[in-house]
Structure 1
Amino acid sequence: MTRAKRISIWAIALVGLMTVTSAAKAGDYDFKSKGVYYKKNGLSGAFSRVAKVVPEKASYPYYTADANKPTGDISIPRTVTERKALGFVDIPYIVTEIGDYAFYGCKGLKRMTIPSSVHRIGNEAFRECSWMTSVEVSGNGLRVIGDAAFAGCDHLERVNIPHGVTKIGRAAFDLCGNLEKLDIPSTVTAMGDNLIEDCDKLKTITVHWATPIDVPANAFSGSQNRITLKVPRGTEAAYRAHAVWGRFKVIEPTANEAVEASRIYTSDGALRLTLPSPEAVYIYGISGAMVKRLALPAGNHVQPLPAGIYVVRVGDAVAKVIVN
């Protein structure tokens, strides 16, 4: 065999290997709907099937071609249907997660809407979606925003972090150069480091804790000199005395807002309470009969209840809620 022929064979083999490596493998995703890829993710409760949004491929590069990447304005549905072949029953799935790397490098994304059924946005889920301008999260179902979830989204102008989120990962908004404000709810109990590195247009961060939580020393990447921290009225001294929050050059009270009041809402078949101070909680059925009386400390609480309509009283606050 000549040397030239051997080189040619090796080149063909290398091209074949690269093709196999870059192709999506069976099992990387289970089905596709309206340009978005989904992976079945087990059951929620006794009967509901759940799925998560995933990239086309499980390993980098996460898409085999730019033409396969989701683009434009995308609204993730609460329930997505796997279309079966003719003669088979279509199967619905509740979407509960935006998986790791789900939209990594999808530069054609413009606006994203996420339903209340989603409880986690994975690590690097939207990394380098550089032309995406806004993310709207519905309801209070979201609990976790993963590491570098929105890193490199340099045209992102607006993202709402809903009440109910408990963790924001490291570098979650790194290199979001057009983000101007960030509002962090009181339900957040943990934040990673370098949260807002190179967010050059960020002007204000608004928080709602009655007592400032501890965060990593470099959580704000040394940007405190140019960003205004807005806090509940009456808590300014506590924030100024804190080792990390106190580094903000300007700390001022949020207009017309005192310490956040109790929050009463339902999600995932349970009553959820956020209490700024210890409280007695009274839960009544629709008939008026007391169902439960609870003495709860300050913080976030989950109280499972049978499906139905309830009246909940916390201090002076009374709310009518529906548990599905």
Structure 2
Amino acid sequence: MKQVTKVVFLLNITKVGDNVCYYASNLVAVDIPKGITIIGTGSFIRCSSLKHITFPKSLKSISSFSFYDCFRLESVDLLHTNVLALGEHAFRDCTSLREMTVPDSLQKLGLNVFGNCSKLVPSTIDVGILRGRGGYDEYDEDVPDVTSEVVAYLRSIQ
């Protein structure tokens, strides 16, 4: 997969397959097409050149390890999607990640979603409040659903 530089998705699919671009180290940008609702487990794991991702409004779930170790990824904008859940370690080790926006629809974060994203700070991520709730700090113990109270708080700090 190291030689892959561009991904073209077939029409009428609703899921980006598990491990579809595993270790595609030359992949720089991905445009996830409309109609996709799920990004599968490990879909873009270790895509070390990946800097830009465009997500469709139809997106509802980013599975575990989807963007794990995409260390050149600097920002993720999910604001105009319908994402309900971010799986375990979905953005772990994205060490250049500085900015993340999430929609009001977000309900659940898996364990360690932003683990080792040291440049991601609460002032640049609306989910900074989730430190201690499983999403940010690798030492968190429990992963409860994001409550409406937390979502309301996130809206208030924008």
TM-score (norm 1): 0.38
Aligned twin of 2:41: 147
Aligned twin of 1:176: 70
Structure 1: 5+ residue stretches without partners: 1-105, 232-238, 254-324
1:164-223 per-position Cα deviation (integer Å, ceiling 9, x unaligned): 1111110100110111111224411222111112111111111121x6522123222153
1: CA distance between counterparts of 2:22 and 2:130?
35
Does 2:3 align with 1:108? yes
Aligned-pair identity (%): 22
Shift of 1:117: 2.3
Considering fraction of residues, name the structure with more strand: 1
Q: 1:245 to 1:182 in 2, by over 3 A?
A: farther
Q: 1:212 to 1:128 in 2, by over 3 A?
A: closer
Aligned twin of 1:156: 50
Contact 1:147 1:170 in 2 (8 A): yes
Q: Which secondary structure state, in structure 1, belongs to the residue aligned with residue 125 of structure 2? A: strand
1:26-67 per-position Cα deviation (integer Å, ceiling 9, x unaligned): xxxxxxxxxxxxxxxxxxxxxxxxxxxxxxxxxxxxxxxxxx
Counterparts of 1:144-293 in structure 2 under 5 Å? 144-184=38-78, 185-209=80-104, 212-223=106-117, 226-227=120-121, 228-230=124-126, 240=129, 243-244=132-133, 252-253=157-158
Which amino acid is 1:146 matched to?
G
Aligned twin of 2:21: 126
Contact 2:101 2:126 in 1 (8 A): yes
2: CA distance between counterparts of 1:112 and 1:241?
33
2: CA distance between counterparts of 1:133 and 1:197?
18
TM-score (norm 2): 0.73
- How many residue pairs align between the two structures? 137
Structure with greater contact order relative to length (CA < 8 Å, sep ≥ 6): 2
Which amino acid is 2:90 matched to?
L
